[in-house]
A and B are shown apart, each in its own frame.
Chain A
Amino acid sequence: MRVSEEIEAAKPSRGFWSDAWQRYRRRPIGMLALGFVLFLTIVAIFAPAIAGTKPVVCSYKGTLYFPCLGYFNRSWESPIFTKDKFRGTYPKNLKQKDPESWAVWPLVFQDPYRRVRENEWPGRRENPSRDEGHPNRWNLFGTDQYGVDIFAKMVHGTTIALLVGFVSMGLAGSIGVLVGALGGYFGGWVDMITSRLTEIVMCIPTLVLILALIAVVEKPTIWKTMAIIGATGWTGIARLTRAEFLRLRQTEFVMAARATGAGSLRIMFRHILPNALAPVLVPITFGIASAILVEGSLSFLGFGPPPPTASWGSVLNSARSNLQLWWLVVFPGAGIFLTVLAYNLVGEGLQEATDPRLREAKK
């Protein structure tokens, strides 16, 4: 026993999560999927620097500006460019109005919201449209029927795809964990109420509810869509959390925590929840994937974010009336497919890394 104690002492202390991470790392496909999700996150954050017509940084009349931030929020684009009548066309205007100016441009000079005109970039022809808009040197993924670049649209649409997943599942996760924790921990009539509530919500078809809401609400925004996906998608998480709490509240360490004087809230969220988190995280990951799908289907049906917003689903929607333009289907379709697949693979990897029963089965 002495020897084993020494061995244990020699090992650096490893918690549950670093242990799970060690196991997760062993699956190349899971790592690949995680890498893809990280890649998308980076694309979403740096979208204006990857594709856009506004400089990332420019020096104009002796001051530094970051006009590309205008893609996140109109008001973050300095008002001086409106005053000096740039009208969104930077390359020409910068040189004309201040010969001393310099600028760092996005990797791809294309705009997700409008067609790039002739000579906007020195020597570049106007974006082709309709049948001529197939992928070419300047438009990597082609252009849509109005000549707007698909690559730029997709890069900027990444933000929405990821936001939909995170915001709606963040909401669903919070509701689900709270409801499940209350029911599982207190049991009795509390459990009765929360379980029935879960079952009722489970019966609501999300897509139909969203369509109904869009018909009623005056200004349907992507945020309201996310809220509904979140407000209806928590049932699976609630049930899993409840099951975990039912199991864990009987354990000795919970009894021990009570015996040291911890209150109910403390026991629920500090002692039980971290132990229940792993099985709850898995459906959240799958939920992100399905939320992205729901947003895609909504946009495809034309109920997505209103037109100026770039989203993968809305590109798909524009393909609906122009089926001969295959690039309008393939690129956003592949984007949605790969993202959903990646999230599912991450979820599966997480499940395998944290579920001891699956771990045993693998050996």
Chain B
Amino acid sequence: MAAPLLEIKDLVTVFHTSDGRLPAVDGVSLSIERGQTLGLVGESGCGKSVTAMSTLRLVSSPGRIESGSIMFTTEGESIDLVTTPEKQLRQVRGGRIGMIFQEPMTSLNPVFTIGNQIAEAVQLHRKVSRSEARSRALEMLHLVRLADPEQRLDAYPHQLSGGMRQRVMIAIALACEPDLIIADEPTTALDVTIQAQILELLDDLRSRLGTAILLITHDLGVVAETCDDVAVMYAGRIVEQASAVELFSRPLHPYTIGLLQARPNVDARDSGPLETIPGMVPPPQDFPSGCRFHPRCSHAREPQCNVEPPSLREVSPGHFVRCHFAEEINS
């Protein structure tokens, strides 16, 4: 079998601060196949955005990728994004891997027209003339279904609404026909109807262009709708990974179960107050010993859970979980 498009192995990204060495991402492994959508789910501060940034080596000081490898395979060639020289990495950024950010309001440069910004992304990676880049920008605006693309080409970001700007961001990310798009909470800053449109657009573009998507979100609803595979992250580690169907029908990790129960259920009329997971995600300086979830876990047992860190094990084909008692809890 061919190598997956992107394979992250034992990624450790550390922030060296006055509080000491803080591992925001602590041994994460993920892999994405061509044309697939992988959802990376977790609460705020669990390290999912840092994972995304690490993939393109965009983590800025004091953050640093300490170990691990990120193999990116395209056109039969594999490169390790962790060690590849900056110059080659720049070819990958925007060229082979596009990125969409959470805040469409601030992710566009306020002093350039959106046409210019898309054209720039094209010109950075392809030897094309200005007018060719511009017509490509127009084409991209059509592709992301921005209303009135001919006029919007010369509009400045502040003249567009949040949803329109996110479409422009997607256009920039897709301008060079990348193999992978990393979308870091692309819909968080948008209101619900626009969210649905943007997700639909992403999904449609994926099936048409065959672009793989790494979708980072805290919204399980989004994952259920769009993703093939799901990885759940907690406190810098992946706690459960499975196909979306499997994960939603048979969640094994207490944290995943808690997340699923914490969602409002539209079908049940009177389901009472929502379930919650007590406590907060611990900050990296106070990660607990043993299983990092045990202080918040209702199934935690004394000698084992707070001492021995569980490993990520495959409980059924393609379904990985990091819990000592996964089988017990589920039955």
A interface, CB within 8 angstroms of B: 1, 4-5, 8-9, 11, 13-16, 187-188, 251-253, 255-263, 266, 270-271, 274-275
Bound Cα distance A8, B121 (Å): 26
Return 24 A-B CB contacts under 8 Å, by A number: A5-B161, A13-B154, A13-B159, A252-B107, A253-B106, A253-B109, A256-B101, A256-B108, A256-B169, A257-B109, A258-B58, A259-B99, A259-B101, A260-B93, A260-B99, A261-B91, A261-B93, A261-B94, A262-B90, A262-B94, A262-B120, A270-B120, A271-B109, A274-B109
Q: Contact: B111 with A275, CB < 8 Å?
A: yes
Please name all residues of chain A whose beta carbon is closer than 8 Å to the beta carbon of B61 when the two chains form the complex. Answer: 187-188
Residues in chain A near residue B155, CB distance under 8 A = 13
Q: Which of the residues B112, B124, B148 comes within 8 Å of A260, measured between beta carbons?
A: B124
Contact, CB under 8 Å: A260 / B94: yes
Q: Tally chain B residues at the interface, Cβ within 8 Å.
A: 38
- How far, in whole Å, are A313 and B107 apart by their CA atoms in the complex? 51
Q: Is the CB of B108 within 8 A of A258?
A: no
Min C-beta distance of A166 to chain B, whole Å:
24
* 7 closest A-B pairs by CB: A260-B94, A261-B94, A259-B99, A261-B93, A252-B106, A274-B111, A252-B107
Q: Quick check: B124 and A253 within 8 Å, CB to CB?
A: no
* With A15-B111, A255-B58 already in contact, 17 other A-B pairs whose C-beta atoms are closer than 8 Å: A5-B147, A8-B160, A14-B156, A15-B113, A16-B111, A16-B156, A188-B61, A252-B101, A256-B101, A260-B94, A261-B125, A262-B90, A270-B120, A274-B111, A274-B112, A275-B110, A275-B111
Determine whether the beta carbon of A253 is less than 8 Å from that of B99: no
Contact status of A260 and B121, CB under 8 A, knowing A13-B156, A251-B106, A253-B107: yes
Could you say which residues of chain B place their CB within 8 Å of the CB of A252? 101, 103, 106-107
A15 to B116 Cα, complex, angstroms: 13
- Please name all residues of chain B whose beta carbon is closer than 8 Å to the beta carbon of A253 when the two chains form the complex: 106-110
Are A255 and B101 interface neighbours, CB within 8 A? yes
Which A residues are CB-close (under 8 A) to B173?
Answer: 260
CB closest chain-B residue, reference A15: B156
- Residues from chain A with Cβ under 8 Å of B156 in the complex: 13-16
CA distance A11 to B113 in the complex (A): 15
B residues less than 8 Å from A4 (CB atoms): 161
**How many CB-defined contacts (below 8 Å) exist between A and B?**
85
* A258 partner residues in chain B, CB cutoff 8 A: 58, 93
A171 to B: closest C-beta gap in Å? 25
Contacts of A1 in B (CB 8 A): 161
Q: Which residues from B are CB-within-8-Å of A256?
A: 99, 101, 107-108, 169, 172
C-alpha gap A1/B193 in the complex (Å): 12
- Taking the nearest CB of chain B, how far is it from the CB of A275, in angstroms? 6
**Cα separation A251 to B111 with both chains bound (whole Å):** 14
| Nearest Cβ on chain A to B187's Cβ, whole angstroms | 16
Q: Which of B152-171 contact A (CB under 8 A)?
A: 154-156, 159-161, 164, 169
Report B-chain residues with C-beta under 8 Å of the C-beta of A15: 111, 113, 156
For the complex, is B151 an interface residue (Cβ under 8 Å from A)? yes
Contacts of B148 in A (CB 8 A): 9
- The minimal Cβ–Cβ distance linking B230 to chain A, given in whole angstroms, is 24
Q: Does residue B56 face the partner (Cβ distance < 8 Å to A)? A: yes
Check B111 against A259 for contact (C-beta < 8 Å).
Answer: no
Tell me the minimal C-beta distance from B189 to chain A in angstroms. Answer: 11
Expressed in whole angstroms, the Cα–Cα distance for A251 and B147 within the complex equals: 27
Interface pair B110/A16, CB less than 8 Å apart: yes
CB contacts (< 8 Å) of A270 on chain B: these are 120
A262 touches which of B101, B124, B154 (Cβ 8 Å): B124
Residue of B nearest to A1 (CB): B161
Partner of B58, one of A14, A259, A263: A259
Q: How far is the CA of A16 from the CA of B156 in the complex (A)?
A: 9
For A254, give the chain B residue with the smallest CB separation: B109
Chain B residues with Cβ below 8 Å from A260 are 93-94, 98-99, 120-121, 124, 172-173
Q: Provide the residues of chain A in CB contact with B125, threshold 8 Å.
A: 261
From A272, which residue of chain B is reached at the shortest CB distance?
B109
Give, as a whole number of angstroms, the nearest-CB distance from B92 to chain A.
Answer: 7
Alpha-carbon distance A263/B87, docked complex (angstroms) = 8
Distance (Å) between the CB of B94 and the closest chain A CB? 3
